[in-house]
Structure 1
Amino acid sequence: MPNSAPTWLGHAQKTGTASAKAGVSARIYLAPNGGLDALKAAAVATSTPGSSSYRKFLTTAQYNAKYAPTTATVNAVRSWLQSAGLKVTGVGVANSYLAVTGNVAAVKNAFATTVNTYKHDGQSVQAPAGALSVPNSVSSAVLAVSGLDTTIRTMTHHDTTPPPPASFANGRPCSQFYGQVDAKYRADYKTLLPKFNGKVLPYAVCGYTGVQFRTAYEGTTDLSGTGVTVGIVDAYASPTIASDAATYTNNHGDGSYAKGQLTQVLPSTVTNTEECDASGWYGEETLDVEAVHAMAPTANIRYYGAKSCYDDDLLDTIHNVVVQNKVQLVTNSYGDAGEEGQTADVIAAWESVFLQGAMQGISFMYSSGDNGDELQDIGLKSADYPASDPYVTAVGGTSTAIDGFGQLAWQSGWGTEKYSLSTDGKSWTPVGYLYGAGGGYSTLFNRPSYQDGVVPANAPSGRAVPDVAMDADPTTGMLIGETQTYPNGGVAYGEYRIGGTSLASPLFAGMTALTLQAAGGKTGLGLLNPLLYSQAKSGNFTDVKGAPVDAGNVRVDYKDGNTRASGLLYSIRTFGQDSSLTTAKGWDDVTGIGTPNAGWLGAVAATAGGKAGGGKTGHPVAGHPVS
């Protein structure tokens, strides 16, 4: 059993010993048949081009028959728990875990540990004082234990914009495509703005649309995702997603949704709505759905909403995805800030689900985070989890210039420092680092073999993050549409620009749906990373390197977030300044192996000996006057 003591113990204040009668609620996750290591080896083999088992995936029933814990295992673990004084209150789907309740005295009997009370990171908690121990008779069956440490762990969504449904509108002027409008003058077109380092910068884009993203990344192709289903996992669910998504596509030429193309799988109840900022997650779902559809207009989208942002609830939702086995790709735009707090138990529980997905041909993609190296936010440099897990694909971010012809003019790593217009309006005042793509090197995972020969040999030895990247910078972000609540109390559909690696992940998932369509559509890819790193030097990914063409863009914001009448704020948002993370030739810790280009669409078909397919239907760029 991989259990370890809570990682926060080193900086916690012990406040006492928990009462023997204090209540306990926990989950005992069960190991797959044959052990986790064997499952890991099988998952990598089925996902590695050239392997004899490449893309020979299992159905859910076949997976359960071979790997799911048996009834005999459940009964043995149940008997041990009950003999210690714990009550088994439920068994997870496919015998994945046993839910138990009891008290601290029973925990001490079962796991040979002391339970204390502590204060850490603003929480008062009850937790084991050290690693747990289980009897030899069930040690191989117990994979992980959660819940004995009552620290509340939640995931945050990785988008960067004021959270809807409170209304927000991007200020004007802005550019319909990159560089369209120079920021020589203020919005009155009379008063000069100061230059930045001697240069007039462009106004930020109003927000790219699907037409622009498709042309820039996918080129001219008749592939559109037909026959592929992309899963999206977030917390909660927007009550207006269907109408919002339909309105957005009608406004921007992304193609209408066919009947049944967008479906939602939702929990019977939701919890912790205030703590998790449920309405903020509505915007996350909106972004994810509209970004996937933008890149793959005919792909099916299956949205799974967790009942809260708590780790266990999101894990249950991910497990439901693999149990249902109705999607080939899953984009996840959330994570923990840094790896601190992740124990071997937590990781084992998540990985068992990722590995089942890989064995069934499901690929998991996670946003790499929006706080760069995390030093500014949590006090130490760290990659985010689950993006740092070797069995998911971490999607980092770029700043992306799409020109008036829909072409990718240039791109840099996403990292932003802010400068505000001085009070006298004659200079720019530095504010400091604002945000940027997450990345770095894991302190929990060794570097997986699929990264060998691509990640520099002299880099730190941990799993390197991210793997790939797409547009994430809010300054060059996507225009999305959502029903919002306005200051006068009215509720109406509105559009605004948004960014973050929450944008990059669904963009990559949508584009990869076209890759699957080209290869036949129905069969997935499992763990994407062995294929991705085999493609690193193929030309199918564009290396992001060197300095950006412009130092940054000028952004205009309404003081009240809604109307020009409240006054305007001017700032410069720079490019390519991502904390201590940097872009460089080859793999780097901001953009991974780079951004996919049209060559990626045929990559899987080529490994199967097929043809990429795809005709030559172009996507014209919509033109609208600047308002």
Structure 2
Amino acid sequence: MLFLSTFIVVFAGLSSAKPFSGKRWDNPSLKHRWVEVPRGWEFHSTPAEDHLLEMRIGLKQNKLDELISSLYEVSDPDHERYGQHLSKAEVDALVAPHPDSVEAVEAWLQHHGINPDDAHFRSAGGEWISIHVSVAQAERMLDTKYGVYHHPASGSSVVRTMEYSLPAELHSHIDVITPTTYFGTFHSMRSTSFIETKPASLVDDAASFAAEISPLAVPASCGSTVTPACLRAMYNTTNYVPKATATNKLGVAGYLDEFANDAGEFRTDAVGGTFQHVQVNGGGNSQSQPGVEANLDIQYTEGISFPTPNIYYSTGGSPPFIKDTFTPTNTNEPYLDWLNFVLNQTVIPQTFTTSYGDDEQTVPQDYAVSVCNLFAQLGARGASIMFSSGDEGVGGGDCLTNDGTNRKIFQPAFPASCPFVTAVGGTTRVNPEVAVSFTGGGFSRYFSQPSYQTSSVTPFLTNLGTKFSGLFNASGRAYPDVSAAASGFQVVISGRTSSVGGTSASSPTVAGIVSLLNDFRISQGKAPLGFLNPLIYSTAKSGFNDIVSGSNPGCGQTGFTATTGWDPVTGLGTPDFLRLQQLV
């Protein structure tokens, strides 16, 4: 999910290019290897040698530590730099690679007949390079063999490899290369929403959606039949009118064939209004075949944040390719095109929500870390980023490890496990809310526990004792951070109402509330909230309704249990806008 701008390398005359001293590049060293084909995928065939791949090279960022330090400082309400978010130019300067890294990578490319001077474009910071290479050339560069792999459950096919290597010298200069060993696509990943079978609870008309509900008496029906009016009452936003609509914006990230209907407003004051469509890399906008996920997201971000401008990013995923019988057309990886686009904008929305994820162990760690660091860039620039925590509890399926040992352990979700995003879990019912059984939560095995959450997480771990010992990484980044309603959402899709559930509903709900908080701050002449976690785990902690019942079973286990204080089921709880407004 990253990459700023890309550049295309012209390959005319590659066969006549003269390589440099070959010995410098003749010592391949393993970068990443799978011991087995990732579960759910199967080898299909050998790709054509001339099939084009869009190879993306992520160079090590020379001042990444300084970027992360700046992110925490501008996000810490007790720090003198709080709210002093970085500009695009300042972030670009911090993520730029060291000149030695640039020299080494360019020399390696030249060795393989690729002239860097032919590049059409690089990322603004120079930390990402994108080139078009044939499968045959990629195999020579990475000392590997590519295959076409198929994912029967989703119908996805990708060109990937089980392992790849780089010359030993380049390991200190390159973080990750794609596409290589990350098999995920948005078709194969789990969208964190699903259609529920609740015909009796469906709201039949727009007027019912629009009817306001008193926060003092939220009806029990809102626990099973959720409308924007329910959420506005439950989380105390009903009477807030946005003022900074010329500045404040809310972005919804959508992918592949997920587009949103323009029609479907549930607020009488929003009739005739619409949202902005931004199509990235061939993303669609077919008003005749909208997506469930897309309509869920935009109908509820708008339902809460109106008249704040909403932007729906429809991101495609089909790079240039050579058509042949056995090679798929889609070799792009999740998030990369979207982040490439957004990070290259001078002005970005102050709030984002995304509702996709996968088991962390299915994402190569070098890829996950590189992607997570790109979210740090967005946060440093003043964006609040919400991700749904997943719908598999502590893990779905057999929960066996993919390292060859076949151990059963809890399976954390990525990108929810990234410490630079705000992960959103799910609840159900009202008066009181309880954890919904499918809400994802747990502890990362890739990312260590950030200091901002230690004081909140430690009491939970202390009380848990030795229960589930060995099934999770107690020193890992803990999630979710917060929660919101996740079941019974009434969504209009092609003119018909469906009941939708999942933490895909929770994330846009929280994003809508955060967008209102950003509106409030901006209207007071203050900076937007930016990266939320250091704030919500400290001075804003009391702005959440603690959820103290429910659990998130999975992996054949009962899962964690919601309790007083933070827990890996509902995090810090659900937001109360009026309390948070006083705290931010």
TM-score if structure 2 supplies the norm length? 0.73
1:133 equivalent to 2:166? Answer yes
What does residue 333 of structure 1 align with? 355
Q: Taking structure 1 as reference, are residues 39 and 22 closer, same or farther at Cα in structure 2, changes over 3 Å only?
A: same
1:233 equivalent to 2:253? Answer yes
The secondary structure found in structure 1 opposite 2:166 is coil
> Aligned partners of 2:502 and 2:429: how far apart in 1?
12
What does residue 356 of structure 1 align with? 377
Whichever residue aligns with residue 267 of structure 1, its letter is: V
Q: Taking structure 1 as reference, are residues 171 and 40 closer, same or farther at Cα in structure 2, changes over 3 Å only?
A: same
> Aligned partners of 2:268 and 2:78: how far apart in 1?
40
* Structure 2 alignment gaps of length 5 or more: 1-28, 205-219, 318-329, 401-408, 465-473
1:283 equivalent to 2:258? Answer no
> Aligned partners of 2:483 and 2:78: how far apart in 1?
25
Q: CA RMSD in A?
A: 4.0
> Aligned partners of 2:516 and 2:43: how far apart in 1?
56
Q: Taking structure 1 as reference, are residues 14 and 281 closer, same or farther at Cα in structure 2, changes over 3 Å only?
A: closer
**Which aligned pairs between 1:54-203 and structure 2 lie closer than 5 A?**
54-69=82-97, 77-85=105-113, 91-94=121-124, 95-102=126-133, 106-107=137-138, 110-111=141-142, 113-115=143-145, 130=163, 132-134=165-167, 136=169, 139-149=171-181, 151=183, 153-154=185-186, 155-161=189-195, 170-172=198-200
Q: Deviations over 1:244-296 (max 9, x none)?
A: 23xx33xx4353465xx62111035259x9xxx99987221111111111221
Q: Taking structure 1 as reference, are residues 239 and 584 closer, same or farther at Cα in structure 2, changes over 3 Å only?
A: closer
What does residue 439 of structure 1 align with? 441
What does residue 386 of structure 1 align with? 415
1:264 equivalent to 2:277? Answer yes
What does residue 32 of structure 2 align with? 5
What does residue 296 of structure 1 align with? 305
1:602 equivalent to 2:581? Answer yes
Contact 2:182 2:362 in 1 (8 A): no
1:576 Cα deviation after fit: 7.4
Q: 82-91 or 324-333, which moves further after superposition?
A: 82-91
Q: Taking structure 1 as reference, are residues 386 and 266 closer, same or farther at Cα in structure 2, changes over 3 Å only?
A: same
Q: Taking structure 1 as reference, are residues 297 and 270 closer, same or farther at Cα in structure 2, changes over 3 Å only?
A: closer
> Aligned partners of 2:443 and 2:198: how far apart in 1?
35
What does residue 268 of structure 2 align with? 253
> Aligned partners of 2:580 and 2:379: how far apart in 1?
21
What does residue 566 of structure 2 align with? 587
Of 520, 524, 544, which aligns to 1:541? 544
1:482 equivalent to 2:493? Answer yes
Whichever residue aligns with residue 414 of structure 2, its letter is: Y
What does residue 552 of structure 1 align with? none
Whichever residue aligns with residue 581 of structure 2, its letter is: G
1:25 equivalent to 2:53? Answer yes
The secondary structure found in structure 1 opposite 2:397 is helix
What does residue 180 of structure 1 align with? none
Contact 2:62 2:96 in 1 (8 A): no
> Aligned partners of 1:214 and 1:106: how far apart in 2?
55
Q: Taking structure 1 as reference, are residues 70 and 501 closer, same or farther at Cα in structure 2, changes over 3 Å only?
A: same
Whichever residue aligns with residue 263 of structure 1, its letter is: Q
Q: Deviations over 1:194-220 (max 9, x none)?
A: xxxxxxxx9896732222211111156
1:530 equivalent to 2:563? Answer no
Whichever residue aligns with residue 250 of structure 2, its letter is: V
Of 182, 205, 212, which aligns to 2:230? 212
Contact 1:8 1:120 in 2 (8 A): no
Number of aligned pairs? Answer: 493
1:79 Cα deviation after fit: 3.2
The secondary structure found in structure 2 opposite 1:241 is coil
> Aligned partners of 2:30 and 2:369: how far apart in 1?
9
Contact 1:236 1:278 in 2 (8 A): no
1:96 Cα deviation after fit: 4.3
Of 48, 62, 66, which aligns to 1:38? 66
| Identity in percent | 26
Contact 1:7 1:340 in 2 (8 A): no
The secondary structure found in structure 2 opposite 1:410 is coil
Q: Taking structure 1 as reference, are residues 541 and 253 closer, same or farther at Cα in structure 2, changes over 3 Å only?
A: same
Q: Taking structure 1 as reference, are residues 32 and 39 closer, same or farther at Cα in structure 2, changes over 3 Å only?
A: farther
The secondary structure found in structure 2 opposite 1:299 is coil
1:461 equivalent to 2:475? Answer yes
Whichever residue aligns with residue 241 of structure 1, its letter is: N
What does residue 312 of structure 1 align with? 333
1:31 Cα deviation after fit: 3.6
1:505 Cα deviation after fit: 0.4
The secondary structure found in structure 1 opposite 2:537 is helix
Q: Taking structure 1 as reference, are residues 4 and 532 closer, same or farther at Cα in structure 2, changes over 3 Å only?
A: farther
Q: Taking structure 1 as reference, are residues 597 and 128 closer, same or farther at Cα in structure 2, changes over 3 Å only?
A: same
1:497 Cα deviation after fit: 2.1
1:71 Cα deviation after fit: 8.9
TM-score if structure 1 supplies the norm length? 0.68
1:499 Cα deviation after fit: 1.8
> Aligned partners of 2:171 and 2:553: how far apart in 1?
48
What does residue 189 of structure 1 align with? none
